Structure 1
């Protein structure tokens, strides 16, 4: 996973709310445009793109609500917050993409066996060109937000629309080839390619959502940076048992540090708090738990994830 961005949870939530609203509006506009053009032209490639955009609208709505729920503060029943709602939204998106690809593939095969001429080709081409531009603009906005927030829901939505961008281009080429050059079957072949692009995009969405749901560690770079920040205090003799995971706009981390066994409890507490502050400067949305061990005198810890090696970090 990538290094978690250094943004406060409130700012990250505001950015994700804004870009998910833009996603919903864009999807609604695309559905309206493609529906009108498909009814006029009868293009299978355009129908495939319309079906995909319809599911995009549903997926964008799911993401719209998921990022708002994920940003809600912890409560009595969810003491670690609600961040994983974003990953569930990504799984939902992946399922819709697979359904869309199956529908598109079926219609393309039927049209290949019994091709039909297109109507109103110019309008269909114009709509697909406009759809490509709108989708490209949305992806650019999502990319800017993703660089700052690391939101898995926005990442899944962007992957979805990136697949759409490819499918729009493929459909545009297929419609143009059938309309301008009279190449039979190109419309349906383009629809089959759209289905393949969607399936590939869905695999990426599932993989990223699974990483967060299965508590995948942060990147080696992020983990190394955390250890470096904690270790800046000479009173900290070592860092081990570092565990990290992301959950929507939040990142959770816990670790053990070695301290001089002669330090008083009050002094050890000051060392821990200072270490937390250094980490929070670069990971402001972090939830941090630090356990202090007396160096050379600590007993092995038990439990389900008992420490097996002091070298483990």
Structure 2
């Protein structure tokens, strides 16, 4: 197991531990108080715990090397995990609405031990703030969608815990217990938004959306550095699988070049792209210019290549 994989697993375990403690603490305090807001937070943390377990398993699975059944590796396990985590967020929101809406129609109920509730919310927000920052930092550093999704879970928990804290404070100051289910509903709406945001982002990778434009720009800049050594390139395709990037393209070269020279050119391009982007695999399919002469009308020709007079850069063809 490499250092990056060990780092990912370590922070995933940390999230499991913190979510376990917070779920138990919130549930005990919420039941003692009879607070929908605090119980809704316990439900949220319980789903966060399940999400952390899923993220942990996905991180372990994605680190496995490619095999006969998964020839492109196991990276998409992390994307699948992030979608499942997003669905769990939406399930948590439904659970909160089921509890809060009836209490809202009833005008709320008496809540006891407001101090305990406020204390557990502050502790929860502080712990989740620290853990979410750690998860998202490691997730971005290692390009792990599962850890980033888990970080978003805990980040929403920070906001919702603070929301419940504010609601309990308002109840203490005003005596209006109806504020408790109202806060619960607001928490649920925030969770719904976070869930849909995660689903939209994760589905993009599952459906093989191209790499971000800034990353494709890096690839094109590397190709431009070698433009004097080939005729043109086309069919550039990019995608992502978990933390891994895949790039393939067709490179049109002078047909008289020795295969060894063409192979060396491809190696140089691949190495430079790999040096610019993390965890990227590049596949270049080479074509002699004779096969692409129709696409290069006004540029090179088979006769010119045969005579070793082939133009080798787009700027020379103009």
Give the TM-score normalised by structure 2. Answer: 0.87
Matching residue of 1:228: 221
Worse-superposed segment, 183-192 or 155-164: 155-164
State the alpha-carbon separation in 1 of the partners of residues 262 and 81 from structure 2. 42
Question: Does residue 1:188 correspond to 2:181, yes or no?
Answer: yes
Q: How big is the shift at 1:214?
A: 0.2
For the residue of structure 1 that corresponds to 2:67, the secondary structure is: coil
For the residue of structure 2 that corresponds to 1:231, the secondary structure is: helix
Matching residue of 1:18: 10
Q: How big is the shift at 1:174?
A: 1.0
Q: Decide which of 126, 142, 145 is 1:152's aligned counterpart.
A: 145
State the alpha-carbon separation in 2 of the partners of residues 299 and 246 from structure 1. 32
Q: How big is the shift at 1:109?
A: 1.0
Question: Does residue 1:140 correspond to 2:133, yes or no?
Answer: yes
* 1:258 to 1:12, Cα distance in 2 relative to 1, 3 A: farther
> Matches of residues 82-101 of structure 1 in structure 2 within 5 Å?
82-101=74-93
Matching residue of 1:213: 206
Q: How big is the shift at 1:296?
A: 5.0
Question: Does residue 1:261 correspond to 2:249, yes or no?
Answer: no
State the alpha-carbon separation in 2 of the partners of residues 38 and 80 from structure 1. 47
> Matches of residues 90-129 of structure 1 in structure 2 within 5 Å?
90-114=82-106, 115-129=108-122
Matching residue of 1:175: 168
Q: How big is the shift at 1:123?
A: 0.8
State the alpha-carbon separation in 2 of the partners of residues 300 and 186 from structure 1. 72
Matching residue of 1:241: 235
Of Structure 1 and Structure 2, the greater helix share is in 2
Residues 35-68 of structure 1: CA deviation (Å, up to 9, x unaligned) = 2211221111000000110111011100100011
Residues 179-216 of structure 1: CA deviation (Å, up to 9, x unaligned) = 23312311110000010000000001101110110001
* 1:212 to 1:10, Cα distance in 2 relative to 1, 3 A: farther
State the alpha-carbon separation in 1 of the partners of residues 222 and 24 from structure 2. 51
Residues 277-312 of structure 1: CA deviation (Å, up to 9, x unaligned) = 1111123411211011223543789xxxxxxxxx9x
Structure 1 gap segments, 5+ residues each: 1-8, 302-310
Equivalent pair of 2:140/2:148 in contact (CA under 8 Å):
no
State the alpha-carbon separation in 2 of the partners of residues 12 and 213 from structure 1. 23
Matching residue of 1:74: 66
State the alpha-carbon separation in 1 of the partners of residues 255 and 212 from structure 2. 32
* 1:239 to 1:35, Cα distance in 2 relative to 1, 3 A: same
Worse-superposed segment, 231-240 or 252-261: 231-240
For the residue of structure 1 that corresponds to 2:281, the secondary structure is: strand
* 1:300 to 1:138, Cα distance in 2 relative to 1, 3 A: farther
> How many pairs does the alignment contain?
294
Question: Does residue 1:204 correspond to 2:197, yes or no?
Answer: yes
Residues 92-115 of structure 1: CA deviation (Å, up to 9, x unaligned) = 111111111111011111111232
Structure number with higher relative contact order (C-alpha < 8 Å, ≥ 6 residues apart): 1
* 1:257 to 1:116, Cα distance in 2 relative to 1, 3 A: same
Residues 6-57 of structure 1: CA deviation (Å, up to 9, x unaligned) = xxx9444333222212211111111121122112211110000001101110
Two-structure CA RMSD over aligned residues (Å): 1.9
* 1:82 to 1:47, Cα distance in 2 relative to 1, 3 A: same
